[in-house]
Protein backbone atom coordinates (compact mmCIF):
# COMPACT_ATOMS: atom_id res chain seq x y z
CA UNK A 1 0.00 0.00 0.00
CA UNK A 2 3.05 2.23 0.33
CA UNK A 3 3.12 3.38 -3.28
CA UNK A 4 -0.37 4.92 -3.13
CA UNK A 5 -1.54 7.80 -0.94
CA UNK A 6 -4.20 6.83 1.60
CA UNK A 7 -6.38 9.81 0.58
CA UNK A 8 -6.40 8.52 -3.01
CA UNK A 9 -7.37 5.01 -1.89
CA UNK A 10 -10.20 6.31 0.32
CA UNK A 11 -11.45 8.65 -2.41
CA UNK A 12 -11.61 5.84 -4.96
CA UNK A 13 -13.38 3.48 -2.55
CA UNK A 14 -15.93 6.17 -1.68
CA UNK A 15 -16.54 6.92 -5.37
CA UNK A 16 -16.84 3.25 -6.39
CA UNK A 17 -19.02 1.98 -3.54
CA UNK A 18 -22.54 1.07 -4.55
CA UNK A 19 -25.41 0.54 -2.15
CA UNK A 20 -27.21 -2.75 -2.47
CA UNK A 21 -29.96 -4.40 -0.48
CA UNK A 22 -27.33 -6.72 1.00
CA UNK A 23 -24.90 -3.91 1.83
CA UNK A 24 -22.19 -1.75 0.30
CA UNK A 25 -20.23 -3.27 -2.58
CA UNK A 26 -17.02 -2.24 -4.34
CA UNK A 27 -16.12 -3.59 -7.78
CA UNK A 28 -12.34 -3.99 -7.92
CA UNK A 29 -12.38 -3.71 -11.71
CA UNK A 30 -13.93 -0.26 -11.44
CA UNK A 31 -11.85 0.79 -8.43
CA UNK A 32 -8.56 -0.25 -10.07
CA UNK A 33 -9.36 1.81 -13.15
CA UNK A 34 -10.46 4.81 -11.05
CA UNK A 35 -7.22 4.72 -9.04
CA UNK A 36 -5.19 4.51 -12.25
CA UNK A 37 -6.93 7.60 -13.63
CA UNK A 38 -6.59 9.49 -10.34
CA UNK A 39 -2.89 8.74 -9.84
CA UNK A 40 -1.75 8.37 -13.44
CA UNK A 41 -0.26 4.96 -12.56
CA UNK A 42 -0.96 2.77 -15.58
CA UNK A 43 2.10 0.57 -14.99
CA UNK A 44 1.48 -1.19 -11.66
CA UNK A 45 -0.01 -4.67 -12.06
CA UNK A 46 -3.73 -4.98 -11.33
CA UNK A 47 -2.97 -7.27 -8.37
CA UNK A 48 -0.83 -4.60 -6.68
CA UNK A 49 -3.51 -1.96 -7.15
CA UNK A 50 -6.31 -4.28 -5.96
CA UNK A 51 -4.21 -5.33 -2.94
CA UNK A 52 -3.85 -1.66 -1.98
CA UNK A 53 -7.56 -0.93 -2.41
CA UNK A 54 -9.20 -3.99 -0.87
CA UNK A 55 -8.10 -3.48 2.78
CA UNK A 56 -9.36 0.10 2.62
CA UNK A 57 -12.72 -1.09 1.30
CA UNK A 58 -12.98 -3.74 4.01
CA UNK A 59 -12.07 -1.24 6.74
CA UNK A 60 -14.88 0.99 5.47
CA UNK A 61 -17.39 -1.86 5.81
CA UNK A 62 -17.68 -2.72 2.13
CA UNK A 63 -17.90 -6.10 0.47
CA UNK A 64 -15.26 -6.47 -2.23
CA UNK A 65 -16.05 -7.98 -5.62
CA UNK A 66 -12.91 -9.21 -7.38
CA UNK A 67 -14.36 -9.04 -10.88
CA UNK A 68 -11.19 -8.62 -12.93
CA UNK A 69 -10.85 -11.30 -15.57
CA UNK A 70 -7.21 -12.02 -16.41
CA UNK A 71 -6.77 -12.52 -20.11
CA UNK A 72 -10.12 -10.95 -20.95
CA UNK A 73 -8.38 -9.02 -23.71
CA UNK A 74 -7.33 -12.26 -25.47
CA UNK A 75 -9.63 -13.22 -28.31
CA UNK A 76 -10.36 -16.94 -28.61
CA UNK A 77 -11.81 -18.32 -31.79
CA UNK A 78 -14.15 -21.34 -31.94
CA UNK A 79 -12.22 -24.60 -31.99
CA UNK A 80 -9.09 -23.05 -30.47
CA UNK A 81 -7.60 -25.01 -27.55
CA UNK A 82 -7.96 -23.22 -24.21
Domain assignment present for 20: yes
- The answer, as to whether pTM is greater than 0.85, is no
Domain assignment present for 32: yes
Domain assignment present for 1: no
What pLDDT, on a 0 to 100 scale, did the predictor assign at position 2?
Answer: 61
Domain assignment present for 70: no
The residue range of the domain holding 35 is: 6-65
pLDDT tens-digit series, residues 13-70? 999 998 876 678 999 999 999 999 999 999 999 999 999 999 999 999 999 999 876 5
Domain assignment present for 18: yes
Domain assignment present for 36: yes
Confidence of residue 75 (pLDDT cuts 50, 70, 90): very low
Domain assignment present for 29: yes
* DSSP annotation string for 5-41: -HHHHHHHHHHHEEEETTEEEEEHHHHHHHHHHHH--
Residue 1 has pLDDT above 60, yes or no: no
Domain assignment present for 26: yes
What pLDDT, on a 0 to 100 scale, did the predictor assign at position 19?
Answer: 81
Residues across the chain: 82
How many domains are there within the chain? 1
Amino acid sequence: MGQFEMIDLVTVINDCTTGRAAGRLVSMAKAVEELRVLTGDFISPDEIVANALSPVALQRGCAVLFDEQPGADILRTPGQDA
